Structure 1
Amino acid sequence: MKKLGYLLIFVILGSCMNNKDENRESAAPMMVEESDDLSGYETKNTGFSITTLAEQKLQEYYDLSLLQKHHPEFENDIKLQLNKLADTLLILPNTTREIIIKNVTKIDYQKITDSTSKLRLHYEVISDRGNTFDTISAIIKTKTIMVNNETITTRKLTFINK
Protein backbone atom coordinates (compact mmCIF):
# COMPACT_ATOMS: atom_id res chain seq x y z
CA MET A 1 0.00 0.00 0.00
CA LYS A 2 2.90 2.35 0.79
CA LYS A 3 4.41 1.69 -2.62
CA LEU A 4 1.13 2.61 -4.30
CA GLY A 5 1.00 5.88 -2.33
CA TYR A 6 4.59 6.74 -3.32
CA LEU A 7 3.86 5.90 -6.94
CA LEU A 8 0.77 8.13 -6.92
CA ILE A 9 2.72 11.07 -5.39
CA PHE A 10 5.50 10.59 -7.96
CA VAL A 11 3.00 10.66 -10.87
CA ILE A 12 1.31 13.81 -9.51
CA LEU A 13 4.64 15.62 -9.03
CA GLY A 14 5.77 14.57 -12.51
CA SER A 15 2.56 15.91 -13.97
CA CYS A 16 3.00 19.23 -12.17
CA MET A 17 6.57 19.53 -13.47
CA ASN A 18 5.35 19.13 -17.08
CA ASN A 19 2.73 21.88 -16.63
CA LYS A 20 5.37 24.18 -15.12
CA ASP A 21 7.59 23.81 -18.22
CA GLU A 22 4.67 24.51 -20.57
CA ASN A 23 3.71 27.65 -18.63
CA ARG A 24 7.29 28.86 -18.75
CA GLU A 25 7.32 28.62 -22.58
CA SER A 26 4.00 30.45 -22.99
CA ALA A 27 5.10 33.26 -20.67
CA ALA A 28 8.03 34.24 -22.88
CA PRO A 29 8.63 37.98 -23.05
CA MET A 30 6.93 39.68 -25.97
CA MET A 31 8.72 41.89 -28.43
CA VAL A 32 7.38 45.44 -28.67
CA GLU A 33 8.54 47.60 -31.55
CA GLU A 34 7.36 51.07 -32.45
CA SER A 35 6.53 51.94 -36.02
CA ASP A 36 6.09 55.32 -37.68
CA ASP A 37 3.71 53.91 -40.31
CA LEU A 38 0.50 55.83 -39.63
CA SER A 39 -1.67 54.88 -42.57
CA GLY A 40 -4.77 56.88 -41.64
CA TYR A 41 -7.57 56.93 -39.14
CA GLU A 42 -10.35 55.16 -41.01
CA THR A 43 -9.54 51.48 -41.51
CA LYS A 44 -11.88 49.27 -43.47
CA ASN A 45 -10.75 45.92 -42.10
CA THR A 46 -11.32 46.80 -38.42
CA GLY A 47 -14.41 48.95 -38.92
CA PHE A 48 -12.86 51.80 -36.92
CA SER A 49 -14.28 55.25 -37.48
CA ILE A 50 -12.92 58.40 -35.87
CA THR A 51 -16.45 59.84 -35.77
CA THR A 52 -17.61 56.83 -33.73
CA LEU A 53 -14.76 57.36 -31.28
CA ALA A 54 -15.55 61.08 -31.13
CA GLU A 55 -19.25 60.36 -30.48
CA GLN A 56 -18.38 58.00 -27.63
CA LYS A 57 -15.94 60.47 -26.07
CA LEU A 58 -18.37 63.38 -26.44
CA GLN A 59 -21.09 61.33 -24.75
CA GLU A 60 -18.67 60.48 -21.94
CA TYR A 61 -17.72 64.19 -21.65
CA TYR A 62 -21.35 65.31 -21.34
CA ASP A 63 -22.23 62.48 -18.95
CA LEU A 64 -19.33 63.33 -16.65
CA SER A 65 -20.26 67.02 -16.74
CA LEU A 66 -23.85 66.20 -15.75
CA LEU A 67 -22.64 63.88 -13.01
CA GLN A 68 -20.38 66.61 -11.65
CA LYS A 69 -23.22 69.16 -11.68
CA HIS A 70 -25.77 66.92 -9.92
CA HIS A 71 -23.40 65.07 -7.54
CA PRO A 72 -20.84 67.55 -6.20
CA GLU A 73 -19.60 64.96 -3.69
CA PHE A 74 -17.73 63.28 -6.58
CA GLU A 75 -16.33 66.53 -7.94
CA ASN A 76 -12.61 65.81 -7.39
CA ASP A 77 -12.69 62.41 -9.10
CA ILE A 78 -14.80 63.69 -11.98
CA LYS A 79 -12.51 66.70 -12.53
CA LEU A 80 -9.57 64.35 -13.08
CA GLN A 81 -11.51 62.42 -15.73
CA LEU A 82 -12.77 65.60 -17.40
CA ASN A 83 -9.24 67.02 -17.57
CA LYS A 84 -8.16 63.92 -19.51
CA LEU A 85 -11.02 64.42 -21.98
CA ALA A 86 -10.95 68.19 -22.54
CA ASP A 87 -9.24 71.44 -21.70
CA THR A 88 -12.53 73.26 -21.06
CA LEU A 89 -15.61 72.73 -18.92
CA LEU A 90 -19.17 72.61 -20.19
CA ILE A 91 -21.79 75.03 -18.91
CA LEU A 92 -25.00 73.06 -18.56
CA PRO A 93 -28.41 74.18 -17.27
CA ASN A 94 -29.29 72.96 -13.76
CA THR A 95 -32.50 71.34 -14.95
CA THR A 96 -30.86 69.08 -17.54
CA ARG A 97 -30.78 65.47 -16.40
CA GLU A 98 -29.78 63.60 -19.57
CA ILE A 99 -27.97 64.49 -22.78
CA ILE A 100 -27.58 62.31 -25.85
CA ILE A 101 -25.00 63.01 -28.56
CA LYS A 102 -25.96 62.08 -32.14
CA ASN A 103 -24.96 62.74 -35.75
CA VAL A 104 -21.27 63.49 -35.23
CA THR A 105 -19.68 64.55 -38.53
CA LYS A 106 -16.24 65.77 -39.54
CA ILE A 107 -16.07 69.38 -40.68
CA ASP A 108 -12.33 69.87 -41.02
CA TYR A 109 -9.22 67.73 -40.67
CA GLN A 110 -5.64 68.99 -40.32
CA LYS A 111 -2.55 66.85 -39.93
CA ILE A 112 -0.22 68.62 -37.48
CA THR A 113 2.56 66.01 -37.22
CA ASP A 114 2.96 62.37 -38.21
CA SER A 115 1.16 61.24 -35.07
CA THR A 116 -1.02 64.26 -34.21
CA SER A 117 -4.05 65.64 -36.03
CA LYS A 118 -6.69 68.26 -35.37
CA LEU A 119 -10.29 67.50 -36.19
CA ARG A 120 -13.28 69.85 -36.19
CA LEU A 121 -16.58 68.12 -35.41
CA HIS A 122 -20.24 69.06 -35.75
CA TYR A 123 -22.76 67.20 -33.58
CA GLU A 124 -26.32 67.23 -32.30
CA VAL A 125 -27.10 67.55 -28.59
CA ILE A 126 -30.45 66.04 -27.58
CA SER A 127 -31.78 66.91 -24.12
CA ASP A 128 -35.07 67.47 -22.34
CA ARG A 129 -34.78 71.14 -23.34
CA GLY A 130 -34.73 70.28 -27.07
CA ASN A 131 -32.21 69.60 -29.81
CA THR A 132 -29.26 71.89 -30.53
CA PHE A 133 -26.20 71.68 -32.74
CA ASP A 134 -22.66 72.47 -31.67
CA THR A 135 -19.08 72.23 -32.92
CA ILE A 136 -15.90 71.28 -31.11
CA SER A 137 -12.28 70.65 -32.00
CA ALA A 138 -10.38 67.54 -31.05
CA ILE A 139 -6.71 66.62 -31.00
CA ILE A 140 -6.04 63.02 -32.00
CA LYS A 141 -2.74 61.40 -31.02
CA THR A 142 -1.99 58.11 -32.76
CA LYS A 143 0.63 55.55 -31.87
CA THR A 144 1.32 52.31 -33.70
CA ILE A 145 3.24 49.49 -32.00
CA MET A 146 4.16 45.93 -32.90
CA VAL A 147 3.20 43.29 -30.32
CA ASN A 148 3.99 39.66 -31.14
CA ASN A 149 4.28 40.47 -34.87
CA GLU A 150 0.86 42.15 -34.79
CA THR A 151 0.35 45.85 -35.46
CA ILE A 152 -1.74 47.65 -32.87
CA THR A 153 -2.82 51.27 -33.29
CA THR A 154 -3.90 53.35 -30.30
CA ARG A 155 -5.68 56.68 -30.54
CA LYS A 156 -6.16 59.28 -27.83
CA LEU A 157 -8.75 61.96 -28.41
CA THR A 158 -8.82 65.21 -26.40
CA PHE A 159 -11.32 68.01 -26.94
CA ILE A 160 -10.10 71.60 -27.13
CA ASN A 161 -11.96 74.88 -27.25
CA LYS A 162 -10.26 76.41 -30.32
Structure 2
Amino acid sequence: MNRPHYILLPVSPLFIAFSLFCAFLLNLLPWGHFVGVPDFVALLLVFWGVHQPRKVGIGTAFVLGLLMDVHDSTLLGENALAYTLLSYCAIMLHRRMLWFPIWTQAAHVFPLLAMAQLVQLIVRFFVSGKFPDWFYFVESAMAAVLWPLTSWLLLAPQRRAVDKDHTRPI
Protein backbone atom coordinates (compact mmCIF):
# COMPACT_ATOMS: atom_id res chain seq x y z
CA MET A 1 0.00 0.00 0.00
CA ASN A 2 3.01 2.32 -0.03
CA ARG A 3 3.08 2.69 -3.79
CA PRO A 4 2.27 6.17 -5.10
CA HIS A 5 -1.04 6.89 -6.79
CA TYR A 6 -0.65 9.24 -9.71
CA ILE A 7 -3.29 11.61 -10.90
CA LEU A 8 -3.59 10.77 -14.57
CA LEU A 9 -4.44 13.19 -17.34
CA PRO A 10 -7.51 12.42 -19.42
CA VAL A 11 -6.84 10.01 -22.25
CA SER A 12 -7.27 11.19 -25.80
CA PRO A 13 -9.90 9.31 -27.85
CA LEU A 14 -7.45 9.44 -30.76
CA PHE A 15 -4.86 7.63 -28.66
CA ILE A 16 -7.39 4.93 -27.77
CA ALA A 17 -8.34 4.51 -31.43
CA PHE A 18 -4.66 4.45 -32.47
CA SER A 19 -3.79 1.81 -29.87
CA LEU A 20 -6.72 -0.40 -30.91
CA PHE A 21 -5.75 0.04 -34.57
CA CYS A 22 -2.16 -0.98 -33.79
CA ALA A 23 -3.41 -4.03 -31.86
CA PHE A 24 -5.59 -4.95 -34.83
CA LEU A 25 -2.58 -4.64 -37.14
CA LEU A 26 -0.53 -6.85 -34.80
CA ASN A 27 -3.29 -9.47 -35.01
CA LEU A 28 -3.17 -9.25 -38.80
CA LEU A 29 0.49 -10.32 -38.90
CA PRO A 30 0.98 -13.91 -40.11
CA TRP A 31 2.12 -15.40 -36.82
CA GLY A 32 -1.20 -16.96 -35.90
CA HIS A 33 0.15 -20.48 -36.33
CA PHE A 34 2.78 -19.98 -33.61
CA VAL A 35 1.90 -21.19 -30.13
CA GLY A 36 1.73 -18.50 -27.47
CA VAL A 37 1.20 -15.37 -29.58
CA PRO A 38 -1.42 -13.41 -27.65
CA ASP A 39 -4.56 -11.84 -29.05
CA PHE A 40 -3.56 -8.18 -28.87
CA VAL A 41 -7.04 -6.88 -29.61
CA ALA A 42 -8.47 -8.86 -26.70
CA LEU A 43 -5.69 -7.62 -24.42
CA LEU A 44 -6.34 -3.99 -25.33
CA LEU A 45 -10.09 -4.40 -25.03
CA VAL A 46 -9.55 -5.59 -21.46
CA PHE A 47 -7.12 -2.76 -20.77
CA TRP A 48 -9.38 0.00 -22.07
CA GLY A 49 -12.44 -1.68 -20.55
CA VAL A 50 -10.74 -1.51 -17.16
CA HIS A 51 -9.21 1.96 -17.50
CA GLN A 52 -11.76 3.76 -19.71
CA PRO A 53 -15.07 1.86 -19.56
CA ARG A 54 -17.08 4.83 -20.84
CA LYS A 55 -14.97 5.27 -23.95
CA VAL A 56 -14.35 1.66 -25.00
CA GLY A 57 -17.32 -0.56 -24.44
CA ILE A 58 -19.21 -3.50 -25.76
CA GLY A 59 -20.00 -1.88 -29.12
CA THR A 60 -16.33 -1.34 -29.88
CA ALA A 61 -15.61 -4.93 -28.90
CA PHE A 62 -18.37 -6.19 -31.18
CA VAL A 63 -17.10 -4.23 -34.20
CA LEU A 64 -13.50 -5.33 -33.64
CA GLY A 65 -14.72 -8.90 -33.22
CA LEU A 66 -16.50 -8.77 -36.56
CA LEU A 67 -13.35 -7.40 -38.19
CA MET A 68 -11.30 -10.23 -36.68
CA ASP A 69 -13.91 -12.75 -37.86
CA VAL A 70 -13.54 -11.47 -41.40
CA HIS A 71 -9.75 -11.57 -41.18
CA ASP A 72 -9.57 -15.04 -39.62
CA SER A 73 -12.23 -16.43 -42.00
CA THR A 74 -14.03 -17.91 -39.01
CA LEU A 75 -17.72 -18.20 -38.36
CA LEU A 76 -19.12 -14.67 -38.46
CA GLY A 77 -19.72 -13.66 -34.87
CA GLU A 78 -17.31 -16.03 -33.14
CA ASN A 79 -14.74 -13.42 -32.18
CA ALA A 80 -17.48 -10.82 -31.82
CA LEU A 81 -19.21 -12.93 -29.17
CA ALA A 82 -15.95 -13.62 -27.33
CA TYR A 83 -14.83 -9.97 -27.43
CA THR A 84 -18.25 -8.75 -26.31
CA LEU A 85 -18.28 -11.06 -23.29
CA LEU A 86 -14.67 -10.13 -22.56
CA SER A 87 -15.44 -6.43 -22.68
CA TYR A 88 -18.51 -6.87 -20.49
CA CYS A 89 -16.53 -8.76 -17.84
CA ALA A 90 -13.69 -6.21 -17.93
CA ILE A 91 -16.16 -3.37 -17.42
CA MET A 92 -17.78 -5.27 -14.55
CA LEU A 93 -14.42 -5.70 -12.81
CA HIS A 94 -12.89 -2.31 -13.59
CA ARG A 95 -13.43 -0.71 -10.17
CA ARG A 96 -12.07 -3.73 -8.34
CA MET A 97 -9.04 -4.34 -10.55
CA LEU A 98 -7.64 -0.83 -10.29
CA TRP A 99 -7.13 -1.22 -6.54
CA PHE A 100 -4.70 -4.09 -6.95
CA PRO A 101 -0.98 -4.06 -7.80
CA ILE A 102 -0.07 -4.73 -11.41
CA TRP A 103 0.69 -8.46 -11.07
CA THR A 104 -2.57 -9.07 -9.23
CA GLN A 105 -4.31 -7.27 -12.07
CA ALA A 106 -2.57 -9.67 -14.45
CA ALA A 107 -3.92 -12.55 -12.37
CA HIS A 108 -7.41 -11.10 -12.92
CA VAL A 109 -6.79 -10.66 -16.65
CA PHE A 110 -5.80 -14.28 -17.25
CA PRO A 111 -9.22 -15.83 -16.42
CA LEU A 112 -10.95 -13.17 -18.52
CA LEU A 113 -8.86 -13.95 -21.57
CA ALA A 114 -9.11 -17.71 -20.96
CA MET A 115 -12.90 -17.36 -20.77
CA ALA A 116 -12.93 -15.56 -24.13
CA GLN A 117 -10.80 -18.31 -25.62
CA LEU A 118 -13.08 -20.95 -24.13
CA VAL A 119 -16.08 -19.31 -25.80
CA GLN A 120 -14.23 -19.38 -29.12
CA LEU A 121 -13.28 -23.00 -28.53
CA ILE A 122 -16.87 -24.03 -27.77
CA VAL A 123 -18.18 -22.29 -30.90
CA ARG A 124 -15.49 -23.91 -33.06
CA PHE A 125 -16.18 -27.31 -31.51
CA PHE A 126 -19.92 -27.12 -32.20
CA VAL A 127 -19.36 -25.96 -35.77
CA SER A 128 -16.45 -28.14 -36.87
CA GLY A 129 -16.22 -30.89 -34.25
CA LYS A 130 -12.48 -30.32 -33.89
CA PHE A 131 -10.82 -29.80 -30.52
CA PRO A 132 -7.38 -28.14 -30.40
CA ASP A 133 -4.69 -29.21 -27.99
CA TRP A 134 -4.33 -27.66 -24.55
CA PHE A 135 -1.56 -25.36 -25.77
CA TYR A 136 -4.43 -23.31 -27.16
CA PHE A 137 -4.72 -21.51 -23.79
CA VAL A 138 -1.04 -20.50 -23.67
CA GLU A 139 -1.85 -17.27 -25.49
CA SER A 140 -4.03 -16.17 -22.54
CA ALA A 141 -1.10 -16.75 -20.20
CA MET A 142 1.23 -14.81 -22.50
CA ALA A 143 -1.23 -11.91 -22.66
CA ALA A 144 -1.45 -11.88 -18.86
CA VAL A 145 2.36 -11.75 -18.70
CA LEU A 146 2.26 -8.78 -21.10
CA TRP A 147 -0.26 -6.93 -18.90
CA PRO A 148 2.36 -4.92 -16.89
CA LEU A 149 4.14 -3.82 -20.07
CA THR A 150 0.83 -2.92 -21.69
CA SER A 151 -0.24 -0.90 -18.64
CA TRP A 152 3.05 0.95 -18.46
CA LEU A 153 3.07 1.69 -22.18
CA LEU A 154 -0.54 2.82 -22.53
CA LEU A 155 -0.66 4.87 -19.32
CA ALA A 156 2.62 6.68 -20.04
CA PRO A 157 1.06 9.54 -22.06
CA GLN A 158 -1.34 10.24 -19.20
CA ARG A 159 1.41 10.51 -16.59
CA ARG A 160 3.20 13.50 -18.08
CA ALA A 161 2.73 16.87 -16.44
CA VAL A 162 0.86 19.57 -18.32
CA ASP A 163 3.20 22.27 -17.08
CA LYS A 164 6.49 21.38 -15.46
CA ASP A 165 6.74 22.63 -11.89
CA HIS A 166 9.59 21.13 -9.92
CA THR A 167 8.25 22.35 -6.58
CA ARG A 168 5.08 20.26 -6.48
CA PRO A 169 5.09 16.50 -5.98
CA ILE A 170 2.20 15.64 -8.34
More helix by share: 2
By percentage of residues, which structure has more strand?
1
Fold-level similarity (TM above 0.5): no
Q: TM-score, normalised by structure 1?
A: 0.30
Q: TM-score, normalised by structure 2?
A: 0.29
Q: Which has the higher contact order (CA 8 A, sep 6+)?
A: 2
